[in-house]
Amino acid sequence: MTEQSPALQNLLTENRTFPPDADFSAQANAKADMYDKADSDREAFWAEQAERLHWDTKWTQVVDWSNAPFAKWFVGGKLNVAYNCVDRHVEAGFGDQVAIHWVGEPGDTRDITYAELKDEVCRAANALLSLGVRPHDRVAIQLQMIPEAIFAMLACARIGAMHSVVFGGFSPTALRSRVDDAEAKIVITSDGQYRRGKAAPMKANVDEALEGAESVEKVIVVRRTGDDVPWKEDRDLWWHELTGAQSTEHKPEAFDSEHPLYILYTSGTTGKPKGILHTSGGYLTQVAYTHQNVFDHKPGEDVYWCTADIGWVTGHSYIVYGPLANRATQVVYEGTPNTPHEGRHWEIIQQHKVSIYYTAPTLIRTFMKWGDEIPAKYDLSSLRVLGSVGEPINPEAWVWYREHIGGGRTPVVDTWWQTETGGIMISPLPGVTATKPGSAQRPLPGISAKVVDDSGNEVPHGGGGYLVLDKPWPSMLRGVWGDDERFKETYWSRFSSQGYYFAGDGAKYDNDGDIWLLGRVDDVMNVSGHRISTTEVESALVSHPTVAEAAVVGASDPTTGQGIVAFVILRGSAADGGEQAVQELRNHVAKEIGPIAKPRQIMMVPELPKTRSGKIMRRLLRDVAENRQVGDVTTLADSSVMELISAGLKSGK
């Protein structure tokens, strides 16, 4: 269990609650009776939620759990996900409503209405079809936050192909392993991206990644920076030429409710990322339901902004699928929050009158660091709901968010969920819940979660343990791409006798039975809300010729939640290390995985603490990394190792 996570520490000091405002409650989408309604008949509740979608063929069964843990939702139903996110709004007369207020980092902008979105998605769908993409084929997308990323995802959904979006910051090696694992036929990328005021190449990285990649037939390149790019005549196509030549008409086909929608890779406890598989009907139902209720979203009135990147699940569920299914008008911003100045987000909120803002604790803490006076310069009075996701939010950041961004008025919803859950699972409901800074509080109506002990028994109020999900939910992952065994082993074996889904998070109940998330209990780190496995970074380190052995831990960090700290044993000939060696290793990891995985700190050590069976005791290394008294060493094969490490670090070796 994470020792004294910030959330737990603050739990002891911050115990205010914020009851909902009566005016807000009166107009809120969510109603208090939803909990009882869902409890009394879960299937009827979800059936009602699914009615918010357009089904070409209605389902015959709400959920089929007979082959657990492989779920089927809305069995027999048929729908087209892209039609639900785009066409039906145009058909209902909202073609002129802006779907996306896109804001480019250099200051260029583009407003895209639902009618225009439909044309763009149809063109892209026709383009993919012209290249021979068929239902179930995989299309990898590595793009920054530009509208084409959304067009491409919806185009895949429209023709029943699966997208696999790879975060733009991932290295060629990381992209390649994902392309290979998914056997992607098409890769969509851009010439380059704007990052902190400068154009950085994208296509060059993709070319490096795809050297000899057998599955890839075509690479489609969006022109963004206009920089020269290397070109492979028989493989590469410009997005604007390819889609520009296509018709804006495309008749959407209805696919089975369980038709695969996408794969999204995420870090697990082993070095190899897992391709999390999501399907259509249940997924879209849950993301639409949660987006409407958790954010109190009102189509045609609200301006919504989720600051995530589409490379992560938050971008999939709460930029693309949930909001568009709900006919949202949303801001999509290409750049970093401090380009060209630290008030960029607040400027955008003021300009577009953003009313719902959804971001991550790490960014909130960064805003705090930049200073209260920055948001104070802008008119943020349009905001009415604030959301948080990605890691436990410390109460101090929660209260700052409400005060300095929400003007002391807005509900703050701390939403717990995962790539695997597809949609929000635990969160307050604005207008219903009296919120508590730092707590995600209760499973949403229709969702069931428990905190259990080692044997799977629910702990009493006030107790802590592991978070489990004890009943299937519509947007649950349907598996790990190509690896059913790993799916069962990772999520369902820990509490197999109870049939619980093991989330990998520690949690506790307070005395009211509200849930507080305490961080990961496995070897997954959470750095700025990004999941990175310790094993992945260790593999990157040992792939460097000077490294004999490496152990990596996540140490608590005031801004990023956790920071990556690596303990490295160098090979004999390179044993001296020094600052230059440290820098080289940090860069090596960035090159192997991506800059987000760059260790904050690397310590050269003579030995690593191991148990008699050879397992590295990361707990002890975490003690060192967090400057704590080293804990119990009795299970170490050689109990003097920790002294050796500490002594070496003190003497600077």
Q: Interface residues with ligand WTA (CB under 6 A)?
A: 266, 312-314, 389-392, 414-419, 440, 503-505, 517, 520, 526, 531
The rounded distance, in Å, linking the Cα atoms of 424 and 426 is: 6
Cβ proximity to ligand WTA: between 59 and 481 the closer is: 481
Cβ proximity to ligand WTA: between 397 and 624 the closer is: 397
Q: What is the smallest separation between the CB atom of 331 and ligand WTA, expressed in angstroms?
A: 20
Cβ proximity to ligand WTA: between 343 and 387 the closer is: 387
| Side chain identity, residue 577 | G
C-alpha distances (whole Å) from 573 to each of 105, 174, 413, 570, 641 are 47, 29, 54, 8, 22
Q: What is the smallest separation between the CB atom of 311 and ligand WTA, expressed in angstroms?
A: 10
Element (H or E) spanning 138, and its range?
strand 138-141
Cβ proximity to ligand WTA: between 243 and 266 the closer is: 266
Q: What is the smallest separation between the CB atom of 264 and ligand WTA, expressed in angstroms?
A: 9
From the list 381, 389, 376, the residue with the least C-alpha distance to 342 is: 376
Q: What is the smallest separation between the CB atom of 530 and ligand WTA, expressed in angstroms?
A: 7
3-state secondary structure 537-562: HHHHHHCCCCEEEEEEEEEEECCCEE
> Can you read off the two tokens belonging to residue 238?
């410009």
Q: What is the smallest separation between the CB atom of 337 and ligand WTA, expressed in angstroms?
A: 19
Cβ proximity to ligand WTA: between 286 and 526 the closer is: 526
Q: Determine phi and psi for 236, rounding to 5 degrees.
A: -95, 145
Confirm if 551 and 618 have CB atoms less than 8 A apart: yes
Sequence-ordered list of residues with C-beta below 8 angstroms from that of 23, at least 6 positions apart, any chain: none
Q: What is the smallest separation between the CB atom of 504 and ligand WTA, expressed in angstroms?
A: 6
The rounded distance, in Å, linking the Cα atoms of 509 and 452 is: 10
> Can you read off the two tokens belonging to residue 397?
């950041």
Cβ proximity to ligand WTA: between 255 and 400 the closer is: 400
Q: What is the smallest separation between the CB atom of 552 and ligand WTA, expressed in angstroms?
A: 17
Q: Determine phi and psi for 6, rounding to 5 degrees.
A: -55, -40
Q: What is the smallest separation between the CB atom of 183 and ligand WTA, expressed in angstroms?
A: 23
Cβ proximity to ligand WTA: between 390 and 437 the closer is: 390
Q: What is the smallest separation between the CB atom of 383 and ligand WTA, expressed in angstroms?
A: 19
From the list 567, 523, 520, 569, the residue with the least C-alpha distance to 546 is: 569
Confirm if 205 and 172 have CB atoms less than 8 A apart: yes
Count Cβ atoms below 10 Å from residue 503 Cβ, excluding itself: 25
Count Cβ atoms below 10 Å from residue 575 Cβ, excluding itself: 14
Q: What is the smallest separation between the CB atom of 165 and ligand WTA, expressed in angstroms?
A: 13
Cβ proximity to ligand WTA: between 365 and 588 the closer is: 365
Instruction: Give the strand pairing for 72-75 and 61-64.
Output: antiparallel
Cβ proximity to ligand WTA: between 55 and 502 the closer is: 502
Separate counts of helices (H) and strands (E) for the chain:
23, 30
SS3 69: coil
Cβ proximity to ligand WTA: between 257 and 418 the closer is: 418
SS3 237: strand
From the list 558, 172, 581, the residue with the least C-alpha distance to 362 is: 558
Instruction: Give the strand pairing for 356-359 and 303-306.
Output: parallel
Q: What is the smallest separation between the CB atom of 467 and ligand WTA, expressed in angstroms?
A: 8
Q: What is the smallest separation between the CB atom of 53 and ligand WTA, expressed in angstroms?
A: 22
> What is the CA 623 to chain-centroid distance, rounded?
28
Sequence-ordered list of residues with C-beta below 8 angstroms from that of 22, at least 6 positions apart, any chain: none
Q: What is the smallest separation between the CB atom of 364 and ligand WTA, expressed in angstroms?
A: 12
Rounded to a whole number of angstroms, the distance between the first and last alpha carbons of the chain is 31
> In DSSP terms, which residues pair with 57 in a beta bridge?
78
> Can you read off the two tokens belonging to residue 527?
């750095």
DSSP code of residue 571: P
Confirm if 443 and 39 have CB atoms less than 8 A apart: no
SS3 136: coil
| Side chain identity, residue 604 | M
Q: What is the smallest separation between the CB atom of 392 and ligand WTA, expressed in angstroms?
A: 4
SS3 181: helix
The rounded distance, in Å, linking the Cα atoms of 32 and 25 is: 10
Cβ proximity to ligand WTA: between 258 and 414 the closer is: 414
Instruction: Give the strand pairing for 260-266 and 255-256.
Output: unpaired
| Side chain identity, residue 507 | A
The rounded distance, in Å, linking the Cα atoms of 207 and 217 is: 13
Cβ proximity to ligand WTA: between 264 and 605 the closer is: 264
Cβ proximity to ligand WTA: between 286 and 419 the closer is: 419
Confirm if 160 and 255 have CB atoms less than 8 A apart: yes
Q: What is the smallest separation between the CB atom of 458 and ligand WTA, expressed in angstroms?
A: 20
Cβ proximity to ligand WTA: between 105 and 181 the closer is: 181
Cβ proximity to ligand WTA: between 415 and 534 the closer is: 415
Q: What is the smallest separation between the CB atom of 317 and ligand WTA, expressed in angstroms?
A: 8
Cβ proximity to ligand WTA: between 86 and 440 the closer is: 440
